[in-house]
Each structure stands twice: as C-alpha cells, then as structure tokens.
Amino acid sequence: MSEPAFHRILLKLSGEALIGGRGFGVDPEAVGRIAREIHEVHEAGVQIAIVVGGGNFIRGVSASEGGFDRVVADHMGMLATVINALALQDALEKTGSLTRVVTAMEMREIAEPFIRRRVIRHLEKGRLAILAGGTGSPYFSTDTAAALRGMEVKADVILKATKVNGVYDRDPQTSPGAKMFLRISYLDVLQRGLAVMDTTAISLCMDNALPIIVFNLNVPGNLRRVISGEQVGSLVTR
C-alpha cells in the first residue's frame, strides 16, 4: 500500500461486523477477513487501537428495554465485547500480528487492565491493542468508549467501520434516494440527529477536534484505502 495518511488510528468495530452470515454470535470467516485487512494496514507501519462492540450478542439499551435493570444490562453488554475481543485477538494472531486485549474491567486471567500509558507503549512497540469493556461504566456506549480511548491514546483519527458507505441524510437501506455526505461537521451531525455515533461521542470528538471517518467495512480493501488517504466514506470534522 502507499504511504499511510495516518500514524495512529482508533478503529471502532461493531459487534455486528463479526456476525458474517450467521445472524448471531461470531463468524470465524468474517472475523478472519477483518483480521487480514487490519494486519495488512498494520504491516504498513500504522499503529492501531481497536474498540469492539458487543451488539452481536447483546445491547445494553435493548436489554434494559426488555426488562433488565439498565446497569445490569450494560454490564452484560460490556462482557459481550470481551468475547468479541478474544475472537478478534485469535484471528489477528493467526495472521502473525502481536496483540494485547485490554479491558476496562479487571479480568487478569484473560486480559490486561486499561492503563493508558501501557496501551500507548504497546502501540509504540508494534502491538495491536484491542480495547474491550467499553468505558467500564454503565450508561455509556462503545461509541463513547471509542471517542474517549481515541483521545487518550492520541489517535490521529477515529475510523468508524459500518455496513453502509458513509453518513447519509436518512437511512439508505430504507430510502433509496438518500444523500451521502463526503464531508460534514460535528454540529450538523448533532443538529440533524444523524446516526453516526451517539451524541456523547460526537460531542467529545467535537470538543477535542478528533476527526471521524465513517466507511463500509464490508467492501474488501476499504480499510487500506482509507489509511492510504483515498476518498472513501464520510469525514466528520469541523
């Protein structure tokens, strides 16, 4: 690949990205494909921290609406992100990448606790840091965790991997005439109520001038193209 446009990135992966064709849980084939794309970019010298979601198993908000206490439901969702982090770690290590799973909740037997300086050191040493457990606190989404961790590790950009090509003025899956934005401001995202990331995450990025690129992970090679600086997806910035 050409010279990377970014030195250090925060990649936000949803739990749904790991489902593949199964409809639920983790599809080894889908995880393997994602791992190979990440490995290719990592081999080009890009430092990568990855925040994983847990929606392929359970969402805290949905579980609370179904009758669970919100705090309990969010903790269940955080545990789901750890399952996904371990699956991704296994797939990445099969490509030859060095990895560390880091959690916001202490789980000594399977992961390291989140210590900001240690995570940065992992990145500097050429390791992939997979960040699980969200923020470790209920009422915060993994989108917010991605924004927070991106700022903590001093990432150049957040790459939000989705199943659509970018940010649209309305849902492109239900509205064929939806318009995609190549570039849009944080404020416009908030005012229009666009489903990019939750409002807390967008506000954090806006306050700290951390750009977000929303792109379609299901298109092979898209991650490499984004890292190379090609016009892929939508840029959310000032």
* Residues 81-108, mean pLDDT to the nearest whole number: 96
Residues in the chain: 238
* Residues 186-196, mean pLDDT to the nearest whole number: 93
CATH number of the domain encompassing residue 188: 3.40.1160.10
Q: In the structure encoding, which two tokens stand for residue 236, read together?
A: 């959310």
Indicate whether 71 belongs to any domain. Answer: yes
Indicate whether 136 belongs to any domain. Answer: yes
> Measured between alpha carbons, how far is 55 from 166 in angstroms, rounded to an integer?
20
pLDDT digits (tens, 9 = 90+) for 20-66: 888 889 999 999 999 999 999 999 999 999 999 999 998 777 777 78
Q: Which of 66-70, 159-163, 218-222 has the lowest mean pLDDT?
A: 66-70
* Residues 125-130, mean pLDDT to the nearest whole number: 98
Q: Which of 47-61, 125-139, 212-226 has the lowest mean pLDDT?
A: 47-61
Indicate whether 1 belongs to any domain. Answer: no
The percentage of the chain sitting over the pLDDT mark of 90, rounded to a whole number, equals 85
Q: How many domains does the chain have?
A: 1
pLDDT-based confidence at 1, cuts 50/70/90? low
Indicate whether 2 belongs to any domain. Answer: no
Q: In the structure encoding, which two tokens stand for residue 4, read together?
A: 């990377």
Taking CA atoms, 183 is separated from 7, 187, 217, in Å, by 21, 12, 18
> Measured between alpha carbons, how far is 174 from 58 in angstroms, rounded to an integer?
24
Q: Which of 61-65, 82-86, 164-168 has the lowest mean pLDDT?
A: 61-65
Indicate whether 3 belongs to any domain. Answer: no
Domain that holds residue 106: 8-237
86: DSSP letter: H
Indicate whether 101 belongs to any domain. Answer: yes
Q: What per-residue string of b and e applies to 34-71 under the rule 16 or more CB within 10 Å gives b?
A: bbebbbbbbeeebbbbbbbbbbbbbbbeebbeeebeee
